[in-house]
Amino acid sequence: EEEEVEEEEVWHQLYPGHIPTSPLQKALLAAGSAVMALYDPYRHDMVAVLGETTGCLALPNLRDKMKHHPEGYRILQERPRIRLSTLDMARLRGLPDGSLGREYVRFLEVNKVSPDTRMPPKFVDDEELAYVIQRYREVHDLMHTLLGMPTNMLGEVVVKWFEAVQTGLPMCVLGAAFGPVRLSARKLQVLATELVPWAIRSGLNASCVLNVYYEQRWEQPVESLREEIGIFPPP
């Protein structure tokens, strides 16, 4: 009896919404979500589950990169969130054209997306790593802004290639590899000859994108932030 009680206590919630899973359950979730995500890349919930159940090596690596960088370390300590409730949209709209804040809001409005649609983590069995994947999700739209890519299939694939190189998260690698299957021949050509090579070069050249405290850089011109991080100008 006592042993049973002890075993149950191991599976406690590490943060609100956490669902404890065994390695086998993670493998099944990963397989199921991979099939669904490849079938429909716009199923963000499936892409999210895939990221959490397969990120066991990449997430600690990303956290360590953050810990060893002054700005990244501050983000881990202060745990900022990018949500409509934390963003002063009116102030961002009033910033000059070309600034990160103004272009980010423009990206959200043009593509009709909201930072609040990002799913909270559920299957990551470490509270700090859960924040890391949350942060990665919440800066995803900023990656689109910095890379100058729309949210259509072509834009998503390019951003995924950049993120795959940057983060090593298997779901990004999968999205980058299989995302293009639905594109037309002409788009595939542009992707293969121009956009993907640029995204890979930028991803390799850039410093870790999770080490930028974007909330404190809304006034910074996108071009200067690109240069600082090491992202080459879009082709």
Closest CA to 138 of 84, 184, 179, 93: 84
Determine the pLDDT at residue 41.
Answer: 65
**SS3 labels along the chain:** CHHHHHHHHHCCCCCCCCCCCCHHHHHHHHHHHHHHHHHCCCCHHHHHHHHHHHCCCHHHHHHHHHHCCHHHHHHHHHCCCCCCCCCCHHHHHCCCCCEHHHHHHHHHHHCCCCHHHCCCCCCCCCHHHHHHHHHHHHCHHHHHHHHCCCCCHHHHHHHHHHHHHHHCCHHHHHHHHHHHHHCCHHHHHHHHHHHHHHHHHHHHHCCCHHHCCHHHCCCCEHHHHHHHHCCCCCC
CA distance 213 to 226: 14
Determine the pLDDT at residue 7.
Answer: 45
Closest CA to 32 of 19, 50, 52, 51: 50
Which two tokens mark 47?
Answer: 């892409």
Q: Which of 29-33, 71-75, 147-151, 201-205 has the lowest mean pLDDT?
A: 29-33
CA distance 7 to 190: 54
Place 4 in a pLDDT band, splitting at 50, 70 and 90: very low
List Cα–Cα distances, 87 to 39, 72, 106, 116, in angstroms.
Answer: 34, 20, 14, 11
- Mean pLDDT over 37-54 rounds to 77
Per-residue model confidence as pLDDT tens digits over 116-147: 988 899 989 999 999 999 999 999 999 999 99
CA distance 108 to 141: 8
